[in-house]
Each structure stands twice: as structure tokens, then as C-alpha cells.
Structure 1
Amino acid sequence: MTRASLDKQPHEVASMFDGVAANYDLTNTVLSLGQDRAWRKEVTRAVDPGPGKRVLDLAAGTATSSLPFAATGAYVVPCDFSIGMLSEGKKRHAHLPFTAGDATKLPFQDKSFDAVTISFGLRNVVDTEAALREMFRVTKKGGRVVICEFSDPTWAPFRTVYNEYLMRALPPVARAVSSNPDAYVYLAESIRAWPDQAGLAKKLQQAGWSKVAWRNLTGGVVALHRGVRI
């Protein structure tokens, strides 16, 4: 299996990510033109971690996204359903409590975390609504969800250029730096099929989250959604 399909069967998606684990972080930095680091900083600000806080980082992969939370003194649990990603992450960051888990059936008790976050992973989950409900279930009252995901560029001319990059430029670049360029063709297609900012906000509200809002990053290429469990 080299490429998942857009019906997002978990075993296909997990197998695809297993195959790109070793070079995944480097490839993302190249394909995002270095913007992934700035996006992670914004996620950390929105999560607002700190000593005594419990943070669940879903679709954490090799835990690159988890490290900024841990650096503040928070207890962070990197969770992913790709065993290949988790294994690669454990080699690099043995001190972190890597946990295998499906976002639609999280292996955690109710109200376990002060914050739940997922970056660039929600669109790969087979059932978005179920995942949002599970995030709500494991979050404490007063806790928050932070979702960083590719979205819809707000400036129409740039949106056209962006879509051209996704489908034409991204695969050749991925071929040069990734062990599995076909995986990035799937990722490009999944970005184009994903709801826009308002669409995702509505799904959050339907899952029970309050005070739902979003902020565009890089002209809407990425949107940072937030919600609170009241």
C-alpha cells in the first residue's frame, strides 16, 4: 500500500503514514516552504500549555508537534494510529508517552485533558464528527480544543495559484524529498476535499463545542480553529 484512498479507511491511511515516517517531518518543512514551524508556534499559543496542564496531541506522528507543549512543563501525550510514526518518534523522544489510538475511539477516560489538539490530521480521519465528539468527551470542563488544518485561501487569485501548486507542483517536489511521493498526491487531494473554515466550525458546534472561532494563517492556507467545553 503506497497511497490511501479518499474513503479514508483506517488501515490504508495508517499504512501510508507508516511508509513515510522516517522523512515525514523534513518533507513537510520542504513542501510548506518552512511555514510549518510558524504554524506550530501559533498552535502552541492557542493551546496555552504550562506546568500541571495535561495535553492530548492527536495525529502526533513522530511528536514534532508535541515538543513545544512539553517544553512548557505540560504533560503531553502524543497519540497516533500509525505504528510506524510512533516507532520513529519513540527513537527520537523516548521520554514521551507515545500512545497508539484511533481518533474516533480514543483510549482515554472522560474529562482527562485540559486541552486536545490535532494538526494536519483531522482530514485523514474516517469520521470527522465522531473524532470531534471523542475530543469533547476526553476534555475537562473549561478545557479547549485546537485544530490546525489546511483550509480555503481567502484571496481568490491566490486560491487558484495554491490549487495549482497542490496538484501540479507538490507531487514532483514530494518525489524529490519523500520516500513515498504517491502519499503526498493523496494528501493534496484530501486538502481539496476538506470543508472550508465555516464548514469545520459548524462541525465543531454540532459536536458540542462552545465559543467556536477560527483564525486564518498564511492567507487561509491554514486555519486555526478553537472551541471550549462549557
Structure 2
Amino acid sequence: MTRASLDKQPHEVASMFDDVAEKYDLTNDVLSLGQARLWRKEVAKAVDARPAQKVLDLAAGTATSSQPFVRAGAYVVPCDFSLGMLRVGKKRHPWMPFTAGDGTKLPFKDDTFDAVTISFGLRNIQDTDQALRELYRVTKPGGRVVICEFSHPTWAPFRTVYTEYLMRALPPVARAVSSNPDAYVYLAESIRAWPTQPELADRLKGAGWQKVAWRNLTGGVVALHRGIK
């Protein structure tokens, strides 16, 4: 079994997700206490995909996150660097154009997509700022980015409880439902080390995005960041 370290070497992270691909969606539902589905709905609203628009879903994994955009009539490209995730996704959604790609060097031309989005994946890319610049590069002028990522609860008492859950409760639960529970120890550590909501907003601005804003979901457990090119 593979567990990535916080320096996020791409081959380690990809291998870790290869290991958990088959049960990944089920595990997320269990560990999030069912909140993952709510978060996906909020992402879909923020992306606001329209018929015939091109949408890049980066770190799409098995493309569960891509389905709301498909239902909206958009042309969706699920992209991920875990071949294991892509294989599982292709079995489930054989008609979709799954694409292997590194978030720091995307295999797409400039100004390709009307919207780009990444859910719970930016945290796993080794160079966050380069990934934000790449998302900017492949977005059409006037296009939008939506980032859904674990963040930092805003109410201090809840933040303490949440941190305890991450470090103490999450690994035992993961052992019960995941094929690679060590991956979820990495998950907990990477969430604790992630920038705050304002810090991530500043990094989006630094990559060129305009009208950057965010809102908290589930009390800041997750934050939804948005920007326009």
C-alpha cells in the first residue's frame, strides 16, 4: 500500500489514489458523513455548466464529480493523473473522454474551456501556484474557475473537534471501509497543512484570476473558491 508524504511527489500521490480507486466514492461518503453529495451539488451550482459549454474537471478521479455537468448538457473532460482512477471511471462511464494529465502541465491548448473546476484535488498537487496558473491558461477569456477543497472551520470550538476527528477518528473509520487506510492519514495531515480561505484566495489572484471570492460549506470544513479570467 502507498501513502504519499506532504511533499506530494506526483508518483506517490498517483499510486496512492490507484490503490483506493475501487472504493473511493463509497469511502468519501462514509468519512464525510454524507456531506460529500451536498458539496458536489454546491459545486455544480457554482460552475453553472450550460449546454455545449466545455468544462474541465481536473482531479476528476472516477468522474463522479463530472456527472452534474454532463446532465446540464456540457461537454466535460475528466482529467486525472491516477491511471487507476481513470480505469475505474472508464468502466462506469465509457462514453466520457477521460484524459490522463498532470495539473502542473495540462495537456490542453490555451483558452480551451468555458469553465474549469477541481474538487478535493488541488491540495494533492505538488505545486499549487503552478496548477492555478495552468487552470488559468486553459480557460477562455471570461471563463470561470471553481475550486472545492477542504479548509478550516471558522468557529474555534468546532475547529478543535474537527481536528480531533481528522487525526483520531478518521484513520480507524478508513481502516473499516478503505482498501488503503494509510491514504487517509495523509488526507488528514494534508488538510491540516492547507492554506486558509483568505490565503488560497490570494494565491488565485496571484495566478491572474479576477473577482475572486469564496464561501464556506459545513462551517468551513470545505470552502468553495471562484474566479473569472
Which category describes the TM-score, using the shorter chain as reference length?
Answer: over 0.9
Match runs of 1:153-192 below 5 Å: 153-192=153-192
Residue 208 of structure 2 is aligned to residue 223 of structure 1:
no
**Deviation for aligned residue 1:50:** 1.4
Q: Find the residue that maps to 1:88 and give its secondary structure.
A: helix
Match of 1:19 in 2: 19
**Deviation for aligned residue 1:199:** 0.5
Q: Given residue 28 of structure 1, which amino acid in structure 2 is its aligned partner?
A: N
Paired positions, count = 229
Aligned-partner Cα distance in 1 for 2:207–2:59: 19
Aligned-partner Cα distance in 2 for 1:52–1:18: 31
Aligned-partner Cα distance in 1 for 2:141–2:115: 10
Q: Find the residue that maps to 2:94 and give its secondary structure.
A: coil
Q: Given residue 9 of structure 2, which amino acid in structure 1 is its aligned partner?
A: Q
Deviation string for 1:56-113 (max 9, x for gaps)? 0000000000011000100000000000000000000001100000000000000000
Aligned-partner Cα distance in 1 for 2:2–2:76: 31
The TM-score, its normalising length taken from structure 1, stands at: 0.99
Range that drifts further, 85-94 or 1-10: 1-10
Q: Given residue 4 of structure 1, which amino acid in structure 2 is its aligned partner?
A: A
Q: Given residue 64 of structure 1, which amino acid in structure 2 is its aligned partner?
A: T
Aligned-partner Cα distance in 2 for 1:25–1:196: 26
Gaps of 5+ in 2: none
Match of 2:123 in 1: 123
Match runs of 1:18-57 below 5 Å: 18-57=18-57
Match runs of 1:46-195 below 5 Å: 46-195=46-195
**Deviation for aligned residue 1:52:** 1.2
**Deviation for aligned residue 1:2:** 1.5
Q: Given residue 125 of structure 2, which amino acid in structure 1 is its aligned partner?
A: V
Q: Given residue 125 of structure 1, which amino acid in structure 2 is its aligned partner?
A: I
The runs of at least 4 aligned residues of structure 1 exceeding 2 Å deviation read none
**Deviation for aligned residue 1:23:** 0.2
The TM-score, its normalising length taken from structure 2, stands at: 0.99
Gaps of 5+ in 1: none
Aligned-partner Cα distance in 2 for 1:156–1:88: 39
Aligned-partner Cα distance in 1 for 2:115–2:189: 29
Aligned-partner Cα distance in 2 for 1:53–1:42: 19
Deviation string for 1:160-189 (max 9, x for gaps)? 000000000000000000000000000110
